[in-house]
Structure 1
Amino acid sequence: MNNLINGLHHITALASDAQKNVDFYVGVLGLRMVKKTINFDAPDVYHLYYGDETGSPGSILTFFPYAGLTRGRRGGGQLTYSAFSIPTASLSYWMDRLVQFGVPYSGPYQRFNETYLRFEDFDGMGVELVANSNDLRPGWDNGKIPAEYSIRGFYTATLNEFNIDRTVSLLTDVMQHKLIAEEQDLFRFEALNGGPGAYVDVMRSPKDVRALQGAGSVHHIAFATDSDESQLEIREQLWSAGYNPTGVLDRNYFHSIYYREPGGILFEIATNPPGFAVDETVAELGSALKLPEWYEPRRAKIEAELPVISALAK
């Protein structure tokens, strides 16, 4: 069988305020805004993409910031914690930085022989920083956070499930993941050769309340595939396994298919190409509002309705 899925591509969540969202993920966590565009299905709402210097697959956290959106509820049937990878030597730096910006955190904790911190953004979205020495991805110096301390990209994501059996079957039988570790009710799966950015953790949590979507909740998790051809191949396998993936949708920077996993979480398979430099140079990423060509005739109206935001690092 061809290798069809090679790890995480991006995670997309909901927020209640565009500027506060930028301030937290650019200003506090030091991610780069790699694309400022709109929700293709709701052009009066931004779609903000944060990641590493070049917007590499596996580093991208995106948001739809709906002004005044009611906060969601964390629980079963939801991606509850998005975990970023940091160098082992940077753990104390991040503890100090979170204190500096008034972000309460818990930990350090231990899990699968790794050390991590846990906290929330201003909307209550669950975030983790996992300290490890296995991530060879380069850091990015945003002018405030030195590259040697900076976030490398995703490490893993935690899916809370009332019953994990069918979700595990999807991951292992169709999506080419393998179980590599388990600890009480937490099970870790990896794609391809594993490593930071190729993990997904499944938590058996039958006593959870049912999650509610809103500000601070994850809308979907996207897994990466190398090409349009490999995407169509995994789409065919999903159909054969009884899932109902969408047709291929053009998101300008990748092509996407979507489907629900058995616990109700929205999954996406996204292509690695063409990438975020298709309409901006790497040096210019995130500096201008980018619209898909079918919205260009409405640019003036769209820009007038969107709030003005600044992406300056703190």
Structure 2
Amino acid sequence: MTIATSGLHHVTAIAGDPQRNADFYLRTLGLRLVKSTVNFDDPGTYHLYYGDGSGKPGTLLTFFPWKGAPKGRRGTGQATTTSFSVPESSIGWWKQHLGDLGVTTSEVRNRDGEDALTFLDPDGLALSLVAHPQGDPREPWDNGIVPAEHGIRGLHSVELSVASEDATAEMLSGLGLTATAQDGNRFRFAAGEGGPGTYVDVRVDPAVAQGLVAAGTVHHVAWRAPDETTQANWRGELLEAGVNVTSILDRQYFRSIYFREPGGTLLEIATDEPGFTADEPLLELGRALKLPPWLEPDRESIEAMLPKLDLPSGNNPEQSPA
């Protein structure tokens, strides 16, 4: 293929209770809720977007939270770990911070020259904080909960679990990623020049059972396209290559196409445009429930189905801190 992604756009996972989910990602990890909307295919549930102050592509972890959702199972055919980027000097702070809040973490481990700390969110989603030795120039969300000097900079990488690597590696190469390292049964690919926000690690283990996508697992991984024209051209190339890819879908804040890599993980190509300020000001991101035009006639019934969310006042900087 002639088009190459510049890196990760977002990761979307499934959660249980939406308030518990919001409490963890806003109050424990210190991210910002940049959009509160609904699953366009199932408007009876939220779609919550967490990221940096403006929700830049490459900083976003999003959730479909269903209260009472069955527990998923990590395994092959899934993205099994989602990693965030933090400053190299902050790993010790995060270990202490998470421990103080009752979150069990691993010991700090070094791999590929990067220190990493792993843990689970309240639904069992596998997360990692990774410190890249060359640093990460992206600005954190300064919310008054996590000190800015330790704040999460954005996504670092995702790990895909597969039974066999060859076909998956071929598709990742077709998306413009380059194989950069191997550590046993783990292969690293990077978009562009590499660095935090560009990596995908492919872990090969044919003995691991197939994963089950439900609460505590990743639904899909999205890669960046700069605009709709590039995305449309990319879709054409995927179709020519025999990939079963969806039509272009309007997600309000980006346009999306979806397809599966040969190992089973659902992938998306999402546009950088138009972004999260398309329907509300920067300072008010995430405060109100936003619906696409085709769901606005049903707003009253949709709002009646959704539980109210208690957000920290720091999510909107013009409010007085609680």
TM-score of the superposition, structure 1-length normalised? 0.97
Q: 1:32 corresponds to which residue? A: 32
Q: Partners in 2 of 1:107 and 1:163 — Cα distance?
A: 29
CA contact under 8 A between 1:4 and 1:230: conserved in structure 2? no
- 1:244, distance to aligned residue in structure 2 (A): 1.1
Of residues 135-144 and 42-51 in structure 1, the stretch that sits farther from structure 2 once superposed is 135-144
1:74-223 alignment runs, 5 A limit: 74-132=74-132, 133-172=134-173, 174-223=174-223
Q: Secondary structure at the match of 2:208?
A: coil
1:253-268 alignment runs, 5 A limit: 253-268=253-268
CA contact under 8 A between 1:4 and 1:231: conserved in structure 2? no
Residues paired across the two proteins, number: 313
Look up the equivalent residue of 1:156 and give its one-letter code: S
- 1:200, distance to aligned residue in structure 2 (A): 0.7
Q: Partners in 2 of 1:74 and 1:92 — Cα distance?
A: 27
Q: Secondary structure at the match of 2:36?
A: strand
Q: 1:55 corresponds to which residue? A: 55
CA contact under 8 A between 1:140 and 1:146: conserved in structure 2? no
CA contact under 8 A between 2:163 and 2:263: conserved in structure 1? yes
- 1:3, distance to aligned residue in structure 2 (A): 4.5
Q: Which runs of 4+ in 1 moved over 6 A?
A: none
Q: Partners in 2 of 1:70 and 1:261 — Cα distance?
A: 25
Look up the equivalent residue of 1:193 and give its one-letter code: E
Q: Which runs of 5+ in 1 are unaligned?
A: none
Look up the equivalent residue of 1:79 and give its one-letter code: A
- 1:107, distance to aligned residue in structure 2 (A): 2.1
Q: Deviations over 1:244-280 (max 9, x none)?
A: 1101000000000000110111000000000001011
Identity of aligned residues (%): 48
Q: Partners in 2 of 1:304 and 1:199 — Cα distance?
A: 40
CA contact under 8 A between 2:76 and 2:264: conserved in structure 1? no
Of residues 190-199 and 157-166 in structure 1, the stretch that sits farther from structure 2 once superposed is 190-199
RMSD: 1.2
Q: Partners in 2 of 1:245 and 1:210 — Cα distance?
A: 22
CA contact under 8 A between 2:3 and 2:175: conserved in structure 1? no
